[in-house]
Structure 1
Amino acid sequence: MTRFLAKRIGQALVVVALVTVIVFLLLHTVPGGPARGILGPQATAAAIAAFNHEHGFDRSLPEQYWMYVSGLLHGDLGASYTLNQSVSSLIEQRIPKTLVLTGLSTLVALLVAIPLGVWQGRRRKGLTDYFITTLVFIGYATPVFFLALILVIVFAEKIPILPVQAPQAETLAGLFADSRGLVLPILAGAIASVAVFSRYMRSAVLDNLAEDYVRTARAKGASERRVVWLHIMRNSLTPIVAMLGYQLPVLFSGALVIESVFNYPGMGLLFWNAAQTSDYPILLGAVLVIAVATVIGSLIADILQAFIDPRVRGAIK
């Protein structure tokens, strides 16, 4: 297990390093550069030159990247051009709120998707299975922003029982104090995830229903309820655990849209506003945080798989 962890951590570090290089190069090849984005199209050549010199953009790309990496090693993600605040402090303020949104959306999705997938797996090829599969595919294929707009129209306009705007509190306690404002953003994030997780759960249940250990358990007189919920479901959770790690970038991208629609004060809204103003330090910092979170999520998923599935433990050894 130690060798496995060391190998995975080494791979994670390489991935994060490559992400910083690729994103840095992409952002610095945007036409006009950061100076034009910050100062506007009417900025003079002298103003642009002064801005580039002040922030080091008149140096070569390798020098700029080295300055950026040196800052990262000291915990410095730079300073926002438009908000006059360090990127680290901005991310520190916003990321807990995004984690609350994505965490609750994922929890709701799992609470619905796991039993739904098990139920569909046991009643495959039935009329209800086909009907739910159709709904699931519609939910999966529908863009997140469209789902969010539908929820707004239904629950904020046609049946006005929930607020359109998410809570604007600065603290997590303030967010939960206005819990009604969290309902629509959480539902918007959960619907697409239900579609993904339920399909994987259904396929895993179908695969495990044909395994020898299921026939053995039934031959020993175990009740169908015990066979399904104790044996089949436990082994069927392996692909779901793996998906949780790989779903992180999807969850963050969905959060960007959801936070923009509901004006939720998280990382997604911060990233969106920074993209509109070409605030490069925020964009680099946000992408780096998302990359690190994705890598850590994948690593945690691999470790959990090893504990859940004996076959994975055997392969590691």
Structure 2
Amino acid sequence: MGRYILKRVLQAIPILIIVSVISFSLIKLAPGDPVQAFVTPKMSAAQVEMVRHNLGLDKPIYIQYLRWVSGVLKGDLGYSLVNYRPVTAEILGRIPATLWLMGVSLVFSVIIGITLGLLSAFHKGKFTDSIISFFSYIGISIPSFWFAMILIVTFSSKLGILPSVGMRTVGVNSFWDVLKHTIMPALVLSIQNTAIITRYIRTNAITQMKEDYVRTAVSKGLTLKRVFTKHVLRNVLLPIVTILGMSLPDLIAGAFITETIFGWPGMGRLGINSIFSFDYPLIMGITMLSSVMVILGNLISDILYGIVDPRVKAVI
């Protein structure tokens, strides 16, 4: 297992290099100039060029990239061009909020997705199966920003039972307050993942019910419900580990939209703000951290899959 982990880590290095090169190039080629944030109407052309020189933006793009890489290898992601704070400090201050939102979304997706998927499979072809399938198709196809607007209008504007902005209420410091702020963003972030898990569990459970070991267990006198919960459930849940690893990129990408709509003080909202303000160091820091999170999530998924499935462990 140790050799496998080391191999995967080494394979991630060229991936991160490629991601950094592409991201850095796209940022530099995008329209807009961060120098404009520092320019005032009274500045002369020479003063504007001095600002560009001080920011290091007058160098060729490959020189700027090498300087950035050199800083990263030393543990320095640079300073934000907007608020002049270290990029590392900016990101670390936002990570807890994003991890909390992603964690709640994952737990919600797994619990609801597995429950609905098993119910749908157990009642295959019946009314319950049709209703669950209908809502799972809606969950897969519904745009997250539209769903967010519907939740805000319904539960915040009309009913007034859930807050629509932020992570905490000003002057209130309680877990229940944080939980109320989390409900709607977590629902938006998890709806598509929940629908995917539901469909996967349903299909896999129906397939497992046709296997010989199910017929054998039923022929020995076990009820179908007991076979379903005792034997089928374990085989159905095994691939969930892989699904969760594959869902990380969608969660990270979805966090950018969700956090911006709900004013959530996380990494996604910080990334959107940095893009609009052409804050190159902050954009690169968030991009690379998101890439590391995706790679790390897939690695953890593979390791857990090897632990729960002896056949995979033997191959590893």
Which TM-score applies when normalising by structure 2? Answer: 0.90
Report the Cα offset of residue 44 of structure 1. 6.0
Q: 1:74: which partner in 2?
A: 74
**Any residues of structure 2 matched to 1:118-267 within 5 Å, and which?**
118-168=118-168, 177-267=177-267
**Given that residues 39 and 48 in structure 2 are in contact (C-alpha distance below 8 angstroms), is that contact kept between their aligned partners in structure 1?**
no
**Given that residues 235 and 309 in structure 1 are in contact (C-alpha distance below 8 angstroms), is that contact kept between their aligned partners in structure 2?**
no
Report the Cα offset of residue 33 of structure 1. 3.9
Report the Cα offset of residue 243 of structure 1. 1.7
Instruction: State the percentage of identical aligned residues.
Output: 36
Q: How many Å separate the matches in 2 of 1:300 and 1:81?
A: 35
Q: Does the residue aligned with 1:85 lie in a helix, a strand or coil?
A: coil
Report the Cα offset of residue 284 of structure 1. 0.6
Query: Are 1:62 and 2:66 matched, yes or no?
Result: no
Judged with a 3 Å threshold, the aligned counterparts in structure 2 of structure 1 residues 169 and 88 are, in CA distance, closer, same or farther, namely farther
Judged with a 3 Å threshold, the aligned counterparts in structure 2 of structure 1 residues 235 and 51 are, in CA distance, closer, same or farther, namely farther
Q: How many Å separate the matches in 1 of 2:292 and 2:167?
A: 27
Q: How many Å separate the matches in 1 of 2:295 and 2:241?
A: 14
Q: Does the residue aligned with 1:179 lie in a helix, a strand or coil?
A: helix
Judged with a 3 Å threshold, the aligned counterparts in structure 2 of structure 1 residues 50 and 246 are, in CA distance, closer, same or farther, namely farther
Aligned residues: 313
Judged with a 3 Å threshold, the aligned counterparts in structure 2 of structure 1 residues 278 and 194 are, in CA distance, closer, same or farther, namely same
Q: How many Å separate the matches in 1 of 2:253 and 2:174?
A: 24
Provide Cα deviations, 1:72-128, integer angstroms capped at 9, x if missing partner. Answer: 112211111111211100111101100001110111121110011112122223333
**Given that residues 235 and 308 in structure 1 are in contact (C-alpha distance below 8 angstroms), is that contact kept between their aligned partners in structure 2?**
no
Provide Cα deviations, 1:251-295, integer angstroms capped at 9, x if missing partner. Answer: 112111111111111111111111111111111111111100000
Judged with a 3 Å threshold, the aligned counterparts in structure 2 of structure 1 residues 125 and 82 are, in CA distance, closer, same or farther, namely same
> Quick check: 277-286 or 9-18, which moved more?
9-18
Q: How many Å separate the matches in 2 of 1:207 and 1:304?
A: 23
Q: How many Å separate the matches in 1 of 2:80 and 2:296?
A: 26
Q: How many Å separate the matches in 2 of 1:39 and 1:136?
A: 49
**Given that residues 204 and 239 in structure 1 are in contact (C-alpha distance below 8 angstroms), is that contact kept between their aligned partners in structure 2?**
no
Q: 1:286: which partner in 2?
A: 286
Question: Considering only aligned residues, what root-mean-square deviation do their CA atoms show, in Å?
Answer: 2.3
Unaligned runs of 5+ residues in structure 1 are: none
Report the Cα offset of residue 176 of structure 1. 5.6
Question: What one-letter code is carried by the residue in structure 1 that aligns with 2:67?
Answer: M
Report the Cα offset of residue 168 of structure 1. 4.2
**Given that residues 87 and 282 in structure 2 are in contact (C-alpha distance below 8 angstroms), is that contact kept between their aligned partners in structure 1?**
yes
Q: How many Å separate the matches in 2 of 1:197 and 1:44?
A: 59
Question: What one-letter code is carried by the residue in structure 2 that aligns with 1:14?
Answer: P
Q: 1:298: which partner in 2?
A: 298
Question: What one-letter code is carried by the residue in structure 1 that aligns with 2:249?
Answer: P
Report the Cα offset of residue 145 of structure 1. 0.9
Q: How many Å separate the matches in 2 of 1:46 and 1:220?
A: 89
Judged with a 3 Å threshold, the aligned counterparts in structure 2 of structure 1 residues 261 and 10 are, in CA distance, closer, same or farther, namely same
Q: Does the residue aligned with 2:238 lie in a helix, a strand or coil?
A: helix
Query: Are 1:88 and 2:88 matched, yes or no?
Result: yes
Question: What one-letter code is carried by the residue in structure 1 that aligns with 2:16?
Answer: V
Q: 1:310: which partner in 2?
A: 310
Judged with a 3 Å threshold, the aligned counterparts in structure 2 of structure 1 residues 127 and 58 are, in CA distance, closer, same or farther, namely same
Which TM-score applies when normalising by structure 1? Answer: 0.90
Provide Cα deviations, 1:159-187, integer angstroms capped at 9, x if missing partner. Answer: 221122232479xx766654322222122
Provide Cα deviations, 1:229-263, integer angstroms capped at 9, x if missing partner. Answer: 23222222233211211211211121111111111
Q: Does the residue aligned with 1:69 lie in a helix, a strand or coil?
A: helix
Question: What one-letter code is carried by the residue in structure 2 that aligns with 1:303?
Answer: I
Q: How many Å separate the matches in 2 of 1:90 and 1:207?
A: 48
Question: What one-letter code is carried by the residue in structure 1 that aligns with 2:210?
Answer: A
Unaligned runs of 5+ residues in structure 2 are: none
Q: How many Å separate the matches in 2 of 1:246 and 1:46?
A: 51
